[in-house]
Chain A
Amino acid sequence: MKAGVLAIVVCGILIAVSFSGCMETTPPVTEKVLIFACSGDAVKLDPADVTDGESTGRTDSIFEGLVEYKEGTAEIQPCLATSWVPSADGKNITFNLRHDVKFHDNTTFNADAVVFSFERQYNTSHPYNKYGLWQYWGWMFTDISKVEKIDNYTVKIVLSRSNAAMMTSLAMFTVAIVSPTNAELWKGDAFKHPCGTGPFKFVEWVQDDHITLKAFKDYWRGAPKIDKIIYRVMTDPSARLLAIKAGDIQGMEFPDPSSFNSIRADDKLQLLTKEGMTVGYLAINNGYGYNDSNKNGVHDQNEPWIKTPGYFKPLTNRSVRQAINCAINKTSIVKNLYKDSAIVAINGMPPFMLGWNGSINDYPYDPARARELLAEAGYANGFDTTLWVMKQGRPYMADPPKVAEAIQSYLAAVNITVNIVQLDWSTYLNKAYNGEFQLCLLGWTGDNGDPDNFMNPLYGANACGLGVAGNYAFYNNTKVQDLFTAALQTYNTSERAQLYKDAQGIMHEDAPFVFLAHANQNLVFTKNVQGFVLNPTGRYFFYPVDLT
């Protein structure tokens, strides 16, 4: 019967095609290509205008800064600057720049490029200033008042006051050096056409699909060992896992903790894991922010505190926030949702950081106490509130929606009814900057190993600027901010430590957040990927990597 024959032929084709995958279909590979699967796409490829790990994951292969981190640490070593000399008062640092370094567009790296990269961020009358938001500058670099060119290979960075973390901050992506020629060529679209001095140069960006980089043959340290990196967007963690098991990709980020056993049992894969310099938290909207009208990243006297768009009266009450802390079983969340790939967070930064306060007793998991506190505050019958959460996994939280549902359930037990709203990553961040939520889940990966990098942008009152905030709880305790500012201005480590400890004490009482966990950093690679070293900052450095 014709129909029957046809059906058999069709089935035959289907089977043949599916089995053909088991055979060698890839042509003999002469190129070393590393395909790395990410949970989301980059937001922008201009390292100075991004705040998220997806973007920096890509830009760190393309750009470099004056200094960089030593492999596997947050200690700095020379990079585009060969040496530097601070002035006696610590307020000027003069850098000698490296010669014979080229950008990917073949222009020469020199002092002009350094000045351009910095100036477009802080100088509001710079012609390229309008092309970006430069948030990280406002969070971390406002102490830089000027960057001057001394000669073609010497620059001077002028600080308005001493800053103990500035040198290590210079290794951050925010102050990576970009090609001025390229910026002129692309103007407002430069964030899509990155050009730096790093080991890999940009080839293409197919939105939501992949970003391809290829080896920069003229890299000043010598060309990298791999020829191409493809950052592939695979939002589905099971798709990532299946792909790496099948050998379709060679690396992936954010494996779901429930799959660790399966990965460890697979001898074609390696699970790289390390203590994370991270914190994952539930941010409670404490109520007030300010408009940073002069854009100096500091809350000035003439900038009054105004209610955030997400202002919600019950949450502005300290007892309510303490109640929320008592209602959530962090240990259970870390054990069952993080599957023990994290430690419970008591303070806003991990225990190995300078100044971590070990004598603080965390709020116990005690729903009865929570109900008491709520009743004291006048909310014996609880209230309704909204919790925002992002869809994608982050370094500090592999499955945010599940954590959100768990919190919803814990709070329901103390009569707080939570409605969950899920948003995609960049929208989520934008709205968080503006304080539009009542409760939200977020976190942070340390950028430079210095406690200031956790405390100031996350918990300082200066970081409550509406629209550019990094302090997502809008915790505007100025006393705490003063402690942070003082801690940054002295170079005496035990003094700094004490100031941070005092600050954490106050923060514990005020309970602006519920600190959930310090998650480990986890990456999965196939066994043939050698040389990748996890960095505590969570950034990906592919230059030393080889495919064997």
Chain B
Amino acid sequence: MARKRETKTHELIRRFRYNKSAVFGLILILFLVFIAIFAPFIAPQDPTPSPPQLENSLKPGFWSNESIPGYPLGTDMLGRDVLSRIIHGSRTSLTIGFIAVGIATALGILIGVAAGYYGGWIDNVLMRITDILFAFPSLLLAIVIVAVIGQGLDKAMIAIGIEYSPQMARVMRGSVLYIKEMEYIEAQKAIGSSNTRIIFRHVLPNSLSPVIVYGTLMMAGAILDAAALGFLGLGAQPPSPEWGAMLSESRFYIVSGSWWAATFPGIAIIIAVLGLNLLGDGLRDILDPRLKE
């Protein structure tokens, strides 16, 4: 039999295609990315019209005959279109998720690789520091950081990035420890490669898969935390159409019957987070079943 040997990449892609959750997750995420990129063209209205059209305040959506054409999901208290704000909000959420995880990864790599590779007292000190950060329940850490550096979207990104960096550091460290033991690293050392070279050319590229898996899962958490900060008023500031903030602004009108402005942004959050969780789960199955531990 002459079967061509599959390259590693081909094998990965094949396994990906057969993993239903990964595919579904990827579709959801691509959908969201698409919406985020083309938001100004997709959204029916301006998400933050200036001056405001207050006369459209709290109008219901397509299910009611009091709805306004062009505002399919209804309007919020300030007359702004809920659907358009959700669409534009995808930009905010995806950006926060991405940058926060980026910060966490950068910090995590720094700390984790240093700790894992050099070991000894460096490892001890760094791990103690991450222990201290771990002593704070996740959202609380973000809130504390915001308490110091102030509120706002950019500050929230930094806070969430710092919040997830201990986890990323641990992942990196674990990965580095594992790889360090491998023979070809010993070989590299034996032939006299410098540490930096070893780290950049061998350790890091081989640690990629846990970063991808955990990065995806962390992004899900980051989006949830960003929405939480927005909900608490500590993240995105008005008039930014951030999903969490939208929920918080409109929840008091449910009691007088206007439920739409608070319900739909939550569904948007679920879609984004669900997509990332599915994708992350799937990637974990594909890239490294060992990581399931």
Contact = CB atoms under 8 A, between A and B. Distances in A.
Contact of B50 (A242, A401, A409): A409
Interface string A255-269: 010110110000000
Given A332-B55, A402-B78, A405-B239, A259 B256 contact: yes
Interface string A219-241: 00000000000000000111001
Nearest to A238: B255
A329 interface: yes
B257 interface: yes
A469 interface: no
Q: Chain B CB within 10 Å — which of A236, A408, A419 has the most?
A: A408
A419 B239 CA distance: 9
A147 interface: no
A410 interface: yes
Interface stretch (B122-130, B170-178, B196-204, B246-254): B246-254
Interface string A333-360: 1011100000000000000000000000
Contact of A419 (B52, B77, B237, B253): B237
A76 interface: no
Contact of A420 (B77, B238, B255): B238
B258 interface: yes
Interface string B216-243: 0000000000000000010001110000
A256 B252 contact: yes
A401 B237 CA distance: 11
A327 B52 CA distance: 11
B256 A241 contact: yes
Contact of A406 (B78, B251, B252): B78
Nearest to B57: A336
Nearest to A365: B51
A211 B55 CA distance: 40
A241 B258 CA distance: 14
Contacts of B257: 262
Given A408-B238, A409-B78, A258 B52 contact: no
A413 interface: yes
B19 to A, nearest CB: 30
Nearest to B79: A336
B49 interface: yes
The A interface, classified by DSSP as helix, strand, loop or mixed, is: helix
Nearest to A255: B256
A256 B54 CA distance: 16
B157 interface: no
Interface residues of B, number: 25
Contacts of A402: 77-78, 249
The B interface, classified by DSSP as helix, strand, loop or mixed, is: loop
A44 B250 CA distance: 31
Interface in B20-65: 48-52, 54-55, 57-58
B233 A422 contact: yes
Contacts of B252: 236-238, 256
Interface string A261-299: 110000000000000000000000000000000000000
Contacts of A422: 233
A236 B257 CA distance: 16
B2 to A, nearest CB: 54
B255 to A, nearest CB: 4
Contacts of A259: 255-256
A409 B80 CA distance: 11
Q: Chain A CB within 10 Å — which of B77, B79, B252 has the most?
A: B252
B203 to A, nearest CB: 44
A404 interface: yes
Interface string A313-338: 00000000000000101001101110
A431 B41 CA distance: 43
A401 B249 contact: yes
Interface of B: 48-52, 54-55, 57-58, 77-79, 233, 237-239, 249, 251-258
By Cβ-Cβ distance, the 3 closest A-B pairs, closest first, are A238-B255, A336-B54, A412-B50
Interface of A: 236-238, 241-242, 256, 258-259, 261-262, 327, 329, 332-333, 335-337, 367, 399, 401-402, 404-406, 408-410, 412-413, 419-420, 422
Given A258-B253, A329-B51, 6 more contacts: A237-B252, A237-B255, A336-B55, A337-B77, A412-B51, A419-B237
